[in-house]
C-alpha cells in the first residue's frame, strides 16, 4: 500500500513568514516554556501551519545548524512583526537582513539556502522526488533536497535552481522565449532538449548531462557559450566549462527511483545515498575503498542498508535512527 503524498499546494505568505520566525527561534535553543507551548498551539491551529513547519524542518541538518547562530531577541521581534504585518516572503527576508537576523552578504550567498529552499516555488525535502508540468508545457523532475523558482516573462522562461538536482524536458510546442536554467555557477540555455542539472552547496560547480537536443552552457561570471550535445555531460564552475565526455546513463536513474552503482567506491556510494537519508549517514574510512555494483531502490533505504550488510564485510553502527555509520563488520 502506497503512502499518501504530502500536500504540496501553496502556503499563504503570512503563514510562511510565521513559520520562518518560529523556526529561527526554535533553532536558537533559547525558547521559554511559554514559547514552546505557544509554538505547539500555533502548529495545531491550522493544517497549513503544520505544513509550513514541516517544510522548514525537512531541510538538511547541517543547514539547520546555521539558524542556531541567529539572534534570539531579533527572532522574537521578527515573529511579532509577522503577527501584525501581511508582508510577502521577499519583504520579510529583507526585514531579516535589516534586523541583522541574516547578513545582506549571506542572503546573496549559499549560506541562506535553508531559507531560499524552504520558500522556493517548487521544492523537495530529504528523500522526496517530484514531477511538475509548467505553464508552457515544460516538464521538470526534482530530486531530493531541491529548490526551484520559476520566473516566466514575455522575453524568457527562467528556472532558478538554488540547490539540488533537476531534470528538464523542454516543451515541444514553438515558443520564441529562450528556456534558461540558472544556478550559482552556470547559465544553461535549452535547445530542444532534455537535460539533467545538479547544483549543490559544496563549491564543486554545476553538473549538466544532456539526454537529447543540445544545451548552451557558460559560467555565470563571464565566458562564451559552449554547446553540450546529446549524449554528453560536463561540469561548469567559475573558471569555465570542462570538456564534455560521454553521458553516464546512471546519472538520471534517480528519476526511476534508483541509485545505480557500477563498481563504485563504497565511500562515494554512501555520500550519494546520504542525500536521501534524513540525518547523518557516514562511511568509516576503513571500508570506504570497498567496491559495489548494482541497482538500489531509493524508496526503501533500509533495504539498501540490508543489501550492503549482506554483500560486503560491513555493518551499520546506529547511534540514533538518524545518525548511522557504515563500518567494518565485527
Q: Which H or E run includes 308?
A: helix 301-311
**Residue positions counted in the chain:** 330
Q: Give strand ranges (E) for 65-156.
A: 122-123, 130-133, 139-142, 147-152
Question: Cell numbers at residue 116, please?
Answer: 531560499
- Residue-wise pLDDT for 4-23, tens only, equals 555 556 566 567 667 777 77
CA angle 164/168/170 to nearest 5° reads 155
Beta strands 323-328 and 280-283, pairing class: parallel
What confidence score (pLDDT) does residue 25 get? 75
What confidence score (pLDDT) does residue 53 get? 82
What confidence score (pLDDT) does residue 241 get? 92
Cα separation, 36 vs 90, in Å, equals 27
End-to-end CA distance of the chain: 36
> Which residues of the chain fall short of a pLDDT of 50?
1-3, 60-72, 74-75, 78-79, 81-112
- Residue-wise pLDDT for 276-293, tens only, equals 998 889 999 999 999 999
Cα separation, 173 vs 246, in Å, equals 29
DSSP label at residue 162 = E
Question: Cell numbers at residue 125, please?
Answer: 525535502
* Average model confidence (pLDDT) across the chain: 80
Q: Helix, strand or coil for residue 110?
A: helix
Q: Helix, strand or coil for residue 311?
A: helix
What confidence score (pLDDT) does residue 75 get? 47
Cα separation, 13 vs 69, in Å, equals 24
DSSP label at residue 3 = P
pTM score above 0.85: no
What confidence score (pLDDT) does residue 21 get? 74
Any bridge partners for residue 281, and if so which?
A: 324
Residue 126 CB burial class (10 angstroms; 0-12, 13-18, ≥19) = middle
Domains, the chain, with CATH or none: 13-119 (no CATH), 123-248 (2.60.120.1440), 257-328 (3.55.50.30)
DSSP, residue by residue, 41-81: HHHHH-HHHHHHHHHHHTS-HHHHHHHTTS-HHHHHHHHHH
Q: Which H or E run includes 323?
A: strand 323-328
Nearest alpha carbon to residue 183 among 193, 195, 171, 197: 197
Amino acid at each position: 500500500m502506497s503512502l499518501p503524498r504530502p500536500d504540496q499546494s501553496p502556503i499563504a505568505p503570512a503563514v510562511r513568514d510565521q513559520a520562518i520566525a518560529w523556526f529561527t527561534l526554535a533553532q536558537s535553543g533559547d525558547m521559554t516554556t511559554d514559547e514552546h507551548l505557544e509554538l505547539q498551539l500555533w502548529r495545531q491551529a491550522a493544517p497549513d501551519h503544520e505544513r509550513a513547519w514541516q517544510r522548514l524542518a525537512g531541510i538538511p541538518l547541517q543547514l539547520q545548524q546555521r539558524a542556531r547562530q541567529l539572534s534570539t531577541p531579533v527572532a522574537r521581534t521578527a515573529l511579532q512583526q509577522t503577527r501584525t504585518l501581511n508582508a510577502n516572503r521577499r519583504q520579510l527576508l529583507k526585514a531579516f537582513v535589516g534586523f541583522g537576523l541574516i547578513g545582506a552578504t549571506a542572503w546573496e550567498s549559499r549560506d541562506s539556502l535553508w531559507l531560499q529552499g524552504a520558500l522556493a516555488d517548487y521544492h523537495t525535502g530529504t528523500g522526496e522526488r517530484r514531477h511538475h508540468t509548467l505553464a508552457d508545457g515544460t516538464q521538470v523532475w526534482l530530486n531530493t533536497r531541491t529548490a526551484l523558482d520559476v520566473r516566466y516573462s514575455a522575453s524568457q522562461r527562467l528556472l532558478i535552481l538554488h540547490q539540488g538536482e533537476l531534470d528538464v524536458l523542454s516543451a515541444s510546442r514553438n515558443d520564441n522565449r529562450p528556456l534558461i536554467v540558472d544556478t550559482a555557477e552556470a547559465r544553461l540555455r535549452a535547445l530542444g532538449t532534455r537535460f539533467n542539472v545538479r547544483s549543490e552547496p559544496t563549491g564543486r560547480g554545476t553538473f549538466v548531462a544532456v539526454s537529447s537536443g543540445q544545451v548552451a552552457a557558460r559560467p555565470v561570471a563571464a565566458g562564451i557559450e559552449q554547446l553540450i550535445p546529446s549524449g554528453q555531460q560536463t561540469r561548469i564552475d567559475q573558471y569555465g566549462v570542462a570538456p564534455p565526455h560521454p553521458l553516464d546513463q546512471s546519472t538520471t536513474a534517480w528519476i526511476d527511483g534508483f541509485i545505480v552503482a557500477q563498481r563504485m567506491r563504497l565511500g562515494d556510494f554512501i555520500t550519494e545515498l546520504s542525500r536521501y537519508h534524513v540525518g547523518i549517514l557516514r562511511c568509516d574510512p576503513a571500508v570506504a575503498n570497498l567496491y559495489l555494483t548494482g541497482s538500489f531502490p531509493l524508496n526503501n533505504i533500509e533495504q539498501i542498508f540490508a543489501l550492503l550488510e549482506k554483500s560486503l564485510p560491513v555493518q551499520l553502527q546506529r547511534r540514533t535512527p538518524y545518525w548511522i555509520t557504515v563500518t567494518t563488520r565485527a
